[in-house]
Structure 1
């Protein structure tokens, strides 16, 4: 089965979307994920939120290249989160016809987190957007079981979950945990590989996630088992940031290598 493959923001970051979108088209990606809200304070991002002419340029370029903006990053739900504060971000996503927004859960009060997620889903629904909660082992939503609990408690029809193969391997999430997520609660799967050894510190986990992921087949994650536990039609996002590879290969060539390795994995069911 052929599945759409999109190029995640981090794989080529901080490449400007003006370059990223034509690159994705040339390589064979069906879509791109972009970032308009920072993951960390002070992060330099393209002016999607602040420059209407730039937004129009990206919208027109994506249409011209037949590339879909498949997701937009990143909404962080902390204890003082107010969904109304990010309405400009939701409007941006609606303007670009973005179906999913990536959400990180930073509120340790999971009941309040579920309520905040529900509020976000309520504002996103009329805009045709599905908030997608990503479990990450250094956040309050550390594994798939917690993510499913939060999304189920929120009880919003458009609330979904992102499965990242790195976070599956780092969080103790099992293949049964993945199978227990209903299909209508799954947004997409982010694919990468990484060393089998799990970093012992929060800093180590974050370093791998943001700067040192590997191509499928170059690490120790059981990618075939993870993919076999997920629906065969689930869209794929290639999220493989690697700072050293950017220096050695160049971001454009790295994106091509990532596409080829991911395509081979999906085609054969095993890494090359």
Structure 2
């Protein structure tokens, strides 16, 4: 099994497309990130994704804030079985698991069980954050997590929220270059990229193999002036592409043209009116519509 997962990591997987003919600007696969619908348990999220027309889900295995819903899939065998059955019944796949957040005093080995559960679910990637100002230490932690994930066929994808100690594309690039691991990746979240004032030109110059998928969203043009405001927008006030002030087209055009797009679009006020299942559906429809209208054909994307 480990050998099979290793081959999956290093090989190019060709996933059959639905029989309907797609414009090449629509040929992306789509995932729904769990933050978009945290009131839904993993099995419920899978069903919502299937009903809306997604290809994947992202599943949150760890609690990120004390007050958010938590689904102990790593320690609840019944919940794990139900989730796997729902995946099998719907054909939805797991794109990623989250969140391996490793601070100065955290041990990457503590995430071993989460990695194993992610692999058991068929996940491909693990979202990781490094809130640590010591570059050598956080790089070593990142390396350790990458090495733990190799036998499981998982990539470790570094995300850089602008309010953390790994706050932008440049700092994340330092970590990946120093780590030099074949399963290391970088997750570009459009909100974090824009809020960190990272450079699209710098993004274009980075190795294509670093980018396995992207978190896609938009956000209000007004940038909050406090950390609390930045976090609030990220967790509750994102918008669908084309509804806000982020250069969605410019950032995505700097990434490989064939990676999946994971929609991380939590909208607390809209969800209170319509429910999160409906928000999941609306997010996919709005994103497809905007990208079909705005993105050039794949042959015209950046390198």
TM-score, length-scaled by structure 1: 0.96
* Alignment counterpart, residue 71 of structure 1, candidates 90, 96, 111: 96
**1:7-63 deviation per Cα after TM superposition (whole angstroms, max 9, x unaligned):** 110111121122111111111100000101111235431120111121121112112
Say if 2:242 is the partner of 1:217: yes
Q: CA deviation at 1:269?
A: 2.4
**Match of 2:212, SS?**
strand
Contact 1:78–1:107 under 8 Å retained in 2: yes
Residues 211-258 of structure 1, C-alpha deviation per residue, up to 9 Å, x if partnerless? 110111111111111111111112100000011011122111111110
**Residue in structure 1 matched with residue 219 of structure 2 by the alignment:** 194
* Counterpart for residue 181 of structure 1: 206
- SS in structure 2 of the partner of residue 190 of structure 1: strand
- For residues 121 and 152 of structure 1, what CA distance do their matches in structure 2 show? 13
Asked if structure 2 preserves the Cα contact closer than 8 Å seen for 1:73 and 1:103, the reply is: yes
Q: Is the 8 A contact 2:130 2:166 kept in 1?
A: yes
| Cross-structure match for 2:63 | 38
* Aligned with residue 289 of structure 2, among 264, 268, 272: 264
**Following the alignment from structure 2 to structure 1, what is the Cα–Cα distance between the partners of residues 127 and 61?**
11
- Select the residue among 45, 60, 68 that pairs with 1:20: 45
Q: Give unmatched runs, 5+ long, in structure 1.
A: none
Which one of the candidate residues 96, 117, 122 is aligned to 1:97?
122
Q: Are 2:181 and 1:156 equivalent residues in the alignment?
A: yes
Return the TM-score normalized by structure 2. Answer: 0.86
Q: 1:14, 1:105 → 2: CA distance? A: 26
Partner of 2:140: 115
Mapped partners of 1:146, 1:28: distance in 2: 36
- Is the aligned partner of 1:243 residue 2:272? no
CA distance in 2, matches of 1:187, 1:14: 27
Greater Cα shift, 81-90 or 25-34:
81-90
For 1:44 and 1:189, how far apart are their aligned partners in 2?
24
* Unaligned residue ranges in structure 2 (runs of 5+): 1-23, 296-303
Give runs of aligned pairs for residues 132-143 of structure 1, distance below 5 A.
Answer: 132-143=157-168
Q: Distance in 1 between matches of 2:138 and 2:97?
A: 20
SS at match of 1:187: coil
User: Matches of 2:67 and 2:146 in 1, distance apart?
Assistant: 27
Q: Is the 8 A contact 1:14 1:45 kept in 2?
A: no
| Number of corresponding residues | 270
**1:51 is matched with which residue?**
76
Quick check: 258-267 or 96-105, which moved more? 258-267
1:124 aligned partner:
149
Q: Please tell me whether the aligned partners of residues 102 and 133 of structure 1 are also in contact (alpha carbons under 8 angstroms).
A: yes
